[in-house]
Chains A and B, each alone.
Chain A
Amino acid sequence: MRVALFLTCVNDTLYPETGRAVVKLLTRLGVDVDFPMAQTCCGQAHYNTGYRHEAEPLARHFSDVFGGYEAIVTPSGSCGAMVRELYPRMGERARAEGRGDTLAATLAPVVPKTYELTEFLVDVLGVTDVGAYYPHRVTYHPTCHGLRGLGLGDRPRRLLQAVKGLELAELPGAEECCGFGGTFALKNSDVSAAMGADKVRNAESTGAEVLCAADNSCLMHIGGTMARLSTGMRPVHIAEILASTEEEPAA
């Protein structure tokens, strides 16, 4: 199977270790993974801030870059939800604006082939035990677009529960938003920061060393809040936990 890694612009620029972890993990599971160099951004920030027309060229670019692959895997619930939920909506809106079916037809091929990482592991590869080893106490925060947009359900937790050495602690109020919300974090920074602080306090109460999620944008906000509140906890992307092994443990 020809699988493309859609890393996302945020991960590519700020969190390359998450990308390396995905490559290591998928390679270990026998997947031939490629990173198309022309990839950039799915357009989510544009779309969700109200710039749908600016997001359209980015969606078309995404489709050009990834259309030829059998599967597209992304370690981001919200970017995955952008492609799966909102690309079809962009096509519909263009049609409603009298611009015909071109955009819908251009975007349609990539929609069903795009998987968030934990979905790809559980649904496509059919594995929950990926042979990982991570001897730490971890709590898991289900990010909103993965949880309510993609419907990831218990897939991430099942993967974490199968990790050797990992002790999974229940996060109180797990399904409440962390307060990131893209440009919301800047436009409504008071409310965003208050939501982040509450999330971090709940995470602290679990006694875990690590808060894990499947979205680095949310982790950037949660982690930034943890550092500011000097909690001693750290944020780690789920890919890095699943990539960690006894031979090559993650830090």
Chain B
Amino acid sequence: MSGTFVGMPAFPEAAHEAVNNPTLRGNLRHATHTIRAKRAKAVAEVSDWAELREAGKRIKDHTLRHLDRYLVQLEESVTAAGGTVHWAADAAEANRIVADLVKATGESEVVKVKSMATQEIGLNEALEAEGIRAYETDLAELIVQLGKDRPSHILVPAIHRNRGEIRDIFTREMSEWGRPAPEGLTDTPAELAEAARLHLREKFLRAKVGVSGANFMIAETGTMVVVESEGNGRMCLTLPETLISVVGIEKILPTWQDLEVFLQTLPRSSTAERMNPYTSMWTGTTDSEAADGPRNFHLVLLDNGRTDTLADEVGRQALRCIRCSACLNVCPVYERAGGHAYGSVYPGPIGAILSPQLRGTASEIDASLPYASSLCGACYEVCPVAIDIPEVLVHLRERVVEGGQVTREGNKVVLKPSKGHAAERAAMRAARWAFTHPGALRGGQRLASRTRRLHPRTLPGPGRAWSESRDLPTVPPEPFRDWWQRTRGGEGGAK
């Protein structure tokens, strides 16, 4: 994924700073709790939510099962509608394709619709290296771009910023990119939105090339669907002459009818809206000067680890994700660690199962992500396509500690168990031995009970992580089993 995240420390170290930053904790707590409550209300209104969730899951599973067929069908439909389809195996290939397409137009700037796929491949940085400036037009993405920051949420990438911080960023940075912020800008939402609107308008009207992702692609018609709530997406999709859409291969739906399910579940899960404000759909190109819409359309189909992920029986369910962010908003770990700690454009619970699959588990951050969860299950409960995130987290923990067969770039490879877990592995083995030898367990319990007065109040080694913030339980004078044997359940050996 994006080069921006190379060299990230493991999740616990990255989270340490966020946990101790009161402004960030306050921003995240306020934002996640607000949207969490709204989502719950919006979902509760729908009497057949459970059925919609099941339908969404089944449509996605069916499509993934027959992805080869649907991708070819999509290519045919897009081509028939006047578009050109490009296939990109990885980020580098996708970036090269997009840069070449922009250069072929003779332009040196593009306007962008908010897109996770282009963030994943680090497109803006790749274009910049080729002398092409990419302007983010989603309000929150604009805040992130102007602030030389990284996104910390899928849907609201500037969730870690409050209004005052945004005002400061606009005042300081807008002039560098185009129209400056109005004099005396305050932090009221209406003024901030107006400043962004004025700044962006000149870019929309000037741009000849638009770059987008897509929430869905309809195989039968070759239609791209973008779901957004600001109208900036509609501008980028209709004003420029050339439109380049970079879309992950898992975003296909077989038919228009399938879309019906997701246009109900996605808005309620993500922004808690009953209906999405701007749903733009385009099919191929327009050939009249007078008509709205691009005259040249390029679809870059992105793999970048998706086929490898699809090969894993347990992990493949992560590809059902429709990027709604409900799992982030409900996650107690995300709320306290923030999005940056996940070291990926996909933070939160879904990021913790996507990144180690798309990128592999070789880096420190990716190997630590499967543990960035208490397995509380709140993410699974709210997921509109029923991804059992805790199941995949545990599965990926197993991949880290036990190793085993995975698919990388289309080849089956066998991973070695991670070296960092050698002591833990030995402890788990010893515990397994004791737990299959009840006599040994009892011996250990008795030893603990008899030495109870000697136990320290703080623990050395890995145990210190416990005793730094929590008192230790006191070991009782005798384990239950000794009491039971002595008394047979308080009946003096009657049984």
Contact = CB atoms under 8 A, between A and B. Distances in A.
Contacts of A43: 432, 435
B478 to A, nearest CB: 7
Contacts of B401: 49-51
A144 B376 CA distance: 5
B475 A14 contact: yes
A149 interface: yes
Nearest to A195: B332
Instruction: Name the interface size band of chain A.
Output: 35 or more
Nearest to A173: B33
A57 B432 contact: yes
Contact of B470 (A55, A175, A225): A225
Nearest to B484: A35
Contacts of B336: 191, 194-195
Query: Size band of the B side of the interface?
Result: 35 or more
B397 interface: yes
Nearest to A52: B398
A40 B465 contact: no
Nearest to B12: A188
A220 B402 CA distance: 29
Interface in A1-48: 7, 9, 11-17, 19-20, 23-24, 27, 33-35, 37-41, 43, 45-48
A145, A181, A196 pick with most chain B CB within 10 angstroms: A181
Interface string A157-195: 000000000000000000111011111111111111111
Contacts of B465: 185-187, 189
Contact of A51 (B11, B12, B402): B402
A16 B479 contact: yes
A225 B469 contact: yes
Interface string A51-82: 11111011001000000000000000000000
Interface string B359-402: 00000000000111111111011000000000100101111111
Contacts of B463: 186
Residue from B396, B470, B489 having most chain A Cβ neighbours under 10 A: B470
B394 A177 contact: no
Interface string B457-495: 000001101101111110110111101110001100001
Contacts of B275: none
B263 interface: no
A57 B436 CA distance: 7
A165 to B, nearest CB: 24
A224 interface: yes
Contacts of B163: none
A132 B34 CA distance: 39
B424 interface: yes
B11 A188 contact: yes
B6 interface: no
Nearest to A224: B470
Given A177-B332, A187-B371, A228-B469, A14 B476 contact: yes
Contact of A50 (B381, B397, B469): B397
A227 interface: yes
B394 A35 contact: no
A189 B12 contact: yes
B103 to A, nearest CB: 45
Interface of B: 11-12, 15-16, 19-20, 25, 313, 332-333, 336-337, 370-378, 380-381, 391, 394, 396-402, 424-425, 428-429, 431-432, 434-436, 438, 441, 445, 448, 462-463, 465-466, 468-473, 475-476, 478-481, 483-485, 489-490, 495
7 contacts: A12-B481, A15-B473, A45-B428, A48-B397, A58-B436, A190-B16, A224-B470
Given A19-B484, A52-B402, A187-B465, 16 more contacts: A15-B473, A34-B495, A35-B484, A37-B481, A41-B431, A43-B432, A48-B397, A89-B391, A148-B376, A148-B377, A177-B378, A187-B371, A193-B469, A195-B332, A196-B470, A228-B470
Interface of A: 7, 9, 11-17, 19-20, 23-24, 27, 33-35, 37-41, 43, 45-55, 57-58, 61, 89, 96, 144-145, 148-149, 175-177, 179-197, 220-221, 223-225, 227-228
